[in-house]
């Protein structure tokens, strides 16, 4: 089994940690050496029931087309050009002081924010202020709202908004020219 996560999976996890304080606390506890929760004991096998006639097999769910790798690489190149994003993440920042890392983060933030503004129109998914109480009715859009905490029963659910969420309402990636190799995120630089 491969235990490493892809770059975009790690980015998604990072944003999940930023948006979910309880998840961040659990990850910190694990990182600090706290034991992972013990798994439940394996259930004792019951006697095998008499086989029933086979049920009809449902048609498989439609699968989405694979992600547009060129678009992902193009966005990564834009973040590198404007914010030195790849350089920052590839650098081991452990030897640097918090002030030095903070200065680099400020430059990264400004450039990444510029790319975000030029490439996407974003809108919050929820209009309420973070920290407000709200009720999710039956049939709420589970793709747009993630319910966390002690989730028991069926909606309506009443809880506290931890993060408004974001939805892209427009995407503007530059057109690619013929022969452009999107795998080149940042060309090597040679000064003469």
pLDDT digits (tens, 9 = 90+) for 49-103: 656 556 566 666 665 566 688 899 999 999 999 999 999 999 999 999 999 999 8
pLDDT of the residue at 39: 46
> In percent, how much of the chain has pLDDT > 70?
68
pTM: 0.59
Element holding 171 (H helix, E strand): strand 166-171
pLDDT of the residue at 49: 61
**Of 118, 92, 121, residue with least CA distance to 104:** 92
pLDDT greater than 50 at residue 140: yes
pLDDT digits (tens, 9 = 90+) for 1-53: 445 555 555 555 555 555 566 766 776 677 677 654 544 444 555 555 656 55
CA dihedral 48, 54, 59, 61 (to 10 degrees): -10
Alpha carbon 163 to chain centroid distance? 14
pLDDT of the residue at 15: 53
**Of 163, 150, 169, residue with least CA distance to 21:** 163
Residue 191 near residue 86 (C-beta atoms within 8 A): no
Residue 105 near residue 137 (C-beta atoms within 8 A): no
Mean pLDDT of the 99-110 span: 92
Alpha helix ranges (H) inside 32-121: 69-83, 85-90, 98-119
């Amino acid at each position: 089994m491969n235990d490493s996560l892809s770059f975009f999976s790690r980015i998604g996890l990072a944003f999940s940690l930023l948006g979910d304080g309880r998840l961040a606390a659990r990850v910190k506890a694990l990182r600090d050496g706290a034991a992972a929760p013990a798994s439940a004991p394996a259930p004792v096998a019951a006697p095998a029931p008499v086989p029933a006639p086979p049920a009809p097999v449902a048609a498989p769910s439609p699968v989405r087309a694979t992600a547009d790798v060129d678009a992902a690489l193009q966005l990564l190149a834009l973040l590198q050009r404007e914010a030195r994003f790849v350089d920052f993440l590839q650098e081991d920042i452990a030897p640097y002081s918090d002030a030095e890392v903070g200065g680099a983060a400020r430059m990264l933030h400004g450039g990444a924010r510029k790319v975000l503004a030029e490439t996407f129109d974003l809108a919050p998914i929820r209009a309420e202020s973070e920290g407000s109480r709200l009720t999710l009715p039956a049939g709420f859009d589970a793709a747009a709202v993630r319910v966390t905490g002690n989730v028991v029963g069926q909606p309506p659910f009443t809880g506290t908004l931890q993060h408004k969420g974001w939805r892209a309402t427009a995407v503007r990636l530059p057109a690619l020219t013929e022969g452009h190799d999107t795998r080149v995120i940042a060309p090597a630089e040679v000064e003469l």
